A and B are shown apart, each in its own frame.
Chain A
Amino acid sequence: MDDLLREFLTETNESLDVVDVELVKFEQEPNNATILNNIFRLVHTIKGTCGFLGLPRLEAIAHAAETLMGKFRDGVPVTHEAVTLVLASIDRIKDILADLEAANGTEPDGTDRDLIDELERLSLSADNDDMADEMAAAMAEEKAAEEEVGTDIYQVLERPLRPGEVSLDDLERAFQEAEVEIELPAVEEETEEDGEPVGAAAPSFAEAKTSQKEVAKPKNPSAKGKASSQGVSNQSIRVNVETLEHLMTMVSELVLTRNQLLEIVRRHEDSEFKVPLQRLSNVTGELQEGVMKTRMQPIGNAWQKLPRIVRDLSQELDKPIGLEMIGAETELDRQVLELIKDPLTHMIRNSADHGLEDPADRVAAGKPEKGNITLSAYHEGGHIIIEVKDDGRGLNLEKIKEKALKNGVTTEAELEKMADHQIYKFIFAAGFSTATNVTSVSGRGVGMDVVRNNVELIGGSIDLRSTPGRGSSFIIKIPLTLAIVSTLIVEAGGDRYAIPQLSVVELVRVQSNSEHRIERLKDRPVLRLRSKLLPLVHMSELLGQTEEADLDEDNGFIVVMQVGSQSFGVVVDGVFHTEEIVVKPMSSMLRNINMFSGNTILGDGSVIMIIDPNGVASAMASHASGTLSDTVEDEYENAEAHVIDADAPISLLLFRAGSEEPKAVPLSLVTRLEEFDVNKIEHSNGRDLVQYRGSLMPLVYVNEGDRHKSEGTQPMLVFSDNGRSMGLVVDQIVDIVEDRMTIEVVSERQGVLGSAIIRERATEVIDLGHYLPLAFDDWFMRKEIDTTTKVRKLLFLDDSAFFRNMLTPVLKAAGYDVTVCSSAQSGYELMEKGTDFAAIVTDIEMPDISGYEFCESLRRDTRFRHMPIIALSAVVTPASIEKGRQAGFDDYVAKFDRPGLLAALKDVLTNEFGVAA
């Protein structure tokens, strides 16, 4: 007798006990659908398993009982008689099981026709309720009729045996006896050929016999006590998971105590406890490992039955089916494993029965005759994914729709709106089967329902994909709440977190002067990693602890993570080590925080949160829609405030440049400290430049006439704002200090605010305001415009393409959102469309409608009476300016006076502000 049968016996006995209790409950509460469903499922499972194990007597009874209960589920009133009969069937099954145990796995001879007839009679009478009275008399006829209907007929093989073929029973027996060979896939083919393996297995027969005795569980002492008395002790025992859980807790306790002891001993150099404690420590470690192991099993254990089942199905359905299993070594918590066994079996059966077409159809569809079912398991983003895939015909959308309507789970109108994959999901509803005829394999609509229930019971989810003609795949996703995971312990915002290793791709060290540094795209941090641009997010920001602006960008680590197809980097302050942890579910009070998948106790006894990579991934997605555009401005203002507020101690960067005296600049103003190879410094347009992050950065010297170093690397302070950077060349960066910046002696010299005592030395405080315009002369002007205008929409009219091309970039660079028109006519149209412009800049000399006319007509419209309009003209004379004023222009600027235009714009927009306020 093989493991399979042994397991079946134990499980079935347990199930039957439950059914007994449930049935009695059900009799008292006939309307309780939950109980009925529960019973129905148990009996269904027993029936199914019996079918695979070749136990026709058991299967027949279970099938008949199930049919009767199916009627109850369909709303037929529950009678005392019926329940008694079902109970009697359960008892009969138990008797047969007991015999089975004693008889080394062979079903006892005998017939259950009496019971089955009785069960079938009741099922039929349920069908024809009003005829119930005549039932007993007309039973013979009914039976004949029922044969035609074909719904309740038990079939082992749907065709007579062909010459030379062995009966299924014989094959079955051969299988059971060929225990040793069963692991070898070759056996399958041999057995299919003929009965030879029976002979081959003969030597091991005696051996098999001994092992069969183990099956006679002490659990069932009433059944053949003599067998159990001789039972060899089992190699494995069933232990309640709670017991293991308790054991686990105690071991954790032990570990903690050990850690404390170790800590104490560490403080006492020559302790006599040292050696025994070391031993205790080792033993504790091993114990911990051992206890952990008791809970983990490779998923392959749950798959053991499957090849056999597929083989049986293949015969029963007369379809060649191949089963491929990938990732059998994926470890799973035992408890989870137990719970997914049945769903998996159901799914394989479904795939074989419904998913795969008949060989003839397959060939017609241009596929190989042999259908394939692929079962794979792997870890993904802290979940275990189990996929059952077939290359069959795919789900029948129309049939599902039809059935969904018939069952009343949806309406025609709702169906219309649904996407295909939503419709597919109906197959998970209770009592849903699209198989037209009920076979002993599947088709009662209990399967997918059970699958979903069991998966959801362990907090998992199930999804399916289907392509007509190409096959379907079911994806079970089980959270690892019970599994042991290897995690990376990181620190962010002063707290430690565990990130599941499975989703960690690599670690990148961030340093301002290394090639890996955090850059920004519209304030969002990104990292250039090889050929990819990786979106980044700070862990503490994700966890809502800090604002992005506060974060130190120049030190830290980036944990590169992958969830599904999404890659991203999480910036953390520090990385410690990896640790194997047992995930404990979050308290129900905290379970709604999707950033964490659980928590655990570390070796040092502290509790740590486990980051859920899926949560992070979805947060990344939603984060992208948020806005942080004000941060830069705030930053700037804060920085300025620092300079003004001289009383508070601030961080100052000390450096030397040009002379020996130390110089200082508030650190908050410095964007980065960089070192460039002097070869990288280029000279162009009379000034020194370096290529910095894809653009040219002008270099500025503290004293005019200074030169950069002639060899080696040149340190510099980089000041950036709004995408522009300036490099202030220094000789040496001395230190960063925290001090009050009280300027004692105000300087007359340009570029120096004055001298202050910093670190007890007179230090020159640099006036950045002097240097910034040296790099970009409009640095401050831009700033000013920016702060007052934000993004203002501007309408710019000019008939000349030359001027349009010349001035548009100027306006854009000043921070305006510019819309360009080539004539007054199109300008009107835009205005009429309701585009809301903050101001208009228009040329005067235009064909058709001149700038004067354009302005006048706008002023006549109440909507545009107060809109700022600026005239642009090549001709600027007092007369033309006067004419412009009369036409209603707010200002009149010469076309070549770019700074004048920007100033005028700023002016009118500020005025307009004042009016509005």
Chain B
Amino acid sequence: MTAHKLTTVDGDDNRQGSADHIQYVTVVIGSQLFGLPISQVHDVFVPEKVTQVPLAPPEVEGVLNLRGRIVTAINMRRKLHLKPNDADQGMMAVGIEYKGESYGLVIDAVGEVLNLPRNEMEANPSNLDFRWAEISGGVHRLDGRLMVVLDVDRLLSSLIEPKAA
């Protein structure tokens, strides 16, 4: 598994960043900057005509049709326990694939692509909100602000397999 991942990174230097760097797509949720590994981001789109799913977990914004595929939209603000977005503010979504299914993370805005060295990533601070820590892979200190690395796998598995309480 690991070997396979490394080769793709090496083999596709420009897109993936080099072995000791990871490229992140930055997104803003609330006022916080988050980073998603670019290798996991399929596309970025504006969610339109979202169909609500009654009885769904609160984090699920709904489902929508993205070029013939049914995408489950996840409201990241709700997942991160942030206040809901103002109605007039535009929405963006980051499309990701997980276990053969398409998901869209609904966020406030998409920022830029950053190439960050792996070794600069720091572990989650111990006092981080546990709901954030659950889906955060670490923190990068950027100039003047912090970027939380979103662990997409953990994020989605936390939603798909509800914690055994």
Q: Which residues of A does B touch, CB under 8 Å?
A: 249-250, 252-253, 256, 493, 495, 543-545, 584, 587-590, 593, 595-596, 599-601, 605-609
In the docked arrangement, what's the CA distance between A600 and B65, Å?
Answer: 9
Contact status A587-B72, CB under 8 Å: yes
Contact status B54-A544, CB under 8 Å: yes
Interface residues of B in 136-161 (CB under 8 A from A): 156, 159-160
Chain A residues whose CB sits within 8 angstroms of the CB of B53 once the complex forms: 590, 593, 596, 609
B165 at the interface (CB under 8 A from A): no
In the docked arrangement, what's the CA distance between A544 and B57, Å?
Answer: 12
Residue contacts A-B, CB under 8 angstroms, 17 given: A249-B69, A253-B68, A495-B52, A543-B55, A544-B54, A584-B70, A589-B103, A589-B156, A590-B53, A595-B55, A599-B51, A601-B68, A606-B51, A607-B51, A608-B51, A609-B53, A609-B54
In the docked arrangement, what's the CA distance between A605 and B65, Å?
Answer: 7
Contacts A543-B54, A589-B72, A590-B56 given; indicate if A607 touches B67 (C-beta within 8 A): no
**Beta-carbon nearest neighbor of A496 in chain B:** B51
Taking A589-B56, A607-B65 as given, write out 5 further A-B residue pairs in contact, using a Cβ cutoff of 8 Å, ordered by the A residue number: A587-B101, A590-B53, A590-B72, A599-B63, A606-B51
In the docked arrangement, what's the CA distance between A316 and B7, Å?
Answer: 58
Contact status B64-A544, CB under 8 Å: no
B83 at the interface (CB under 8 A from A): no
Chain A residues whose CB sits within 8 angstroms of the CB of B69 once the complex forms: 249
Contact status B99-A607, CB under 8 Å: no
Contact status B70-A609, CB under 8 Å: no
Chain B residues whose CB sits within 8 angstroms of the CB of A495 once the complex forms: 51-52, 54
Shortest distance between the CB of A259 and any CB in chain B (Å): 12
Contact status A607-B64, CB under 8 Å: yes
Contact status B57-A256, CB under 8 Å: no
Chain A residues whose CB sits within 8 angstroms of the CB of B56 once the complex forms: 589-590, 593
Contact status B68-A609, CB under 8 Å: no
**Beta-carbon nearest neighbor of A495 in chain B:** B52
Chain B residues whose CB sits within 8 angstroms of the CB of A544 once the complex forms: 54-55
Shortest distance between the CB of B63 and any CB in chain A (Å): 5
B131 at the interface (CB under 8 A from A): no
B60 at the interface (CB under 8 A from A): yes
Contact status B70-A587, CB under 8 Å: yes
Chain B residues whose CB sits within 8 angstroms of the CB of A590 once the complex forms: 53, 56, 60, 63, 72
Determine which of A253, A589, A605 lies in contact with B160 in the assembled complex, contact meaning CB atoms within 8 Å.
A589
0/1 interface trace, chain B 84-110, chain A, CB 8 Å (1 if under)? 000000000000000101010000000
Contact status A250-B68, CB under 8 Å: yes
Most chain B CB inside 10 Å of its own CB: which residue of A252, A584, A588: A588
Chain A residues whose CB sits within 8 angstroms of the CB of B99 once the complex forms: 588
B5 at the interface (CB under 8 A from A): no
Shortest distance between the CB of A42 and any CB in chain B (Å): 26
Shortest distance between the CB of B96 and any CB in chain A (Å): 12
Q: Which residues of B does A touch, CB under 8 Å?
A: 49, 51-57, 60, 62-65, 67-70, 72, 74, 99, 101, 103, 156, 159-160
Determine which of A252, A587, A595, A596 lies in contact with B103 in the assembled complex, contact meaning CB atoms within 8 Å.
A587
Contact status B72-A595, CB under 8 Å: no
Most chain B CB inside 10 Å of its own CB: which residue of A544, A545, A606: A606
In the docked arrangement, what's the CA distance between A249 and B67, Å?
Answer: 8
Chain B residues whose CB sits within 8 angstroms of the CB of A605 once the complex forms: 49, 65
In the docked arrangement, what's the CA distance between A600 and B51, Å?
Answer: 11
Contacts A543-B54, A595-B55, A609-B51 given; indicate if A587 touches B68 (C-beta within 8 A): no
**Beta-carbon nearest neighbor of A608 in chain B:** B51
Contact status B101-A606, CB under 8 Å: no
Determine which of A252, A543, A595, A599 lies in contact with B68 in the assembled complex, contact meaning CB atoms within 8 Å.
A252
Shortest distance between the CB of B46 and any CB in chain A (Å): 14
In the docked arrangement, what's the CA distance between A696 and B49, Å?
Answer: 52
Contact status A587-B55, CB under 8 Å: no
Shortest distance between the CB of A620 and any CB in chain B (Å): 15
In the docked arrangement, what's the CA distance between A599 and B51, Å?
Answer: 10
Chain A residues whose CB sits within 8 angstroms of the CB of B64 once the complex forms: 607
Contact status A589-B68, CB under 8 Å: no
Shortest distance between the CB of B90 and any CB in chain A (Å): 20
Shortest distance between the CB of B59 and any CB in chain A (Å): 9
Contacts A588-B99, A606-B49 given; indicate if A593 touches B160 (C-beta within 8 A): no
In the docked arrangement, what's the CA distance between A634 and B103, Å?
Answer: 42
Contact status B65-A589, CB under 8 Å: no
Shortest distance between the CB of A247 and any CB in chain B (Å): 11
Shortest distance between the CB of B162 and any CB in chain A (Å): 9
Shortest distance between the CB of A499 and any CB in chain B (Å): 14
Chain A residues whose CB sits within 8 angstroms of the CB of B63 once the complex forms: 587, 590, 599, 607, 609
Which 3 pairs, one residue from A and one from B, show the smallest C-beta to C-beta distance? A543-B54, A252-B68, A587-B72
In the docked arrangement, what's the CA distance between A545 and B56, Å?
Answer: 11
Contact status B51-A249, CB under 8 Å: no
In the docked arrangement, what's the CA distance between A632 and B41, Å?
Answer: 53
In the docked arrangement, what's the CA distance between A617 and B24, Å?
Answer: 48
In the docked arrangement, what's the CA distance between A256 and B55, Å?
Answer: 28
Contacts A587-B103, A588-B99, A605-B49 given; indicate if A253 touches B67 (C-beta within 8 A): yes
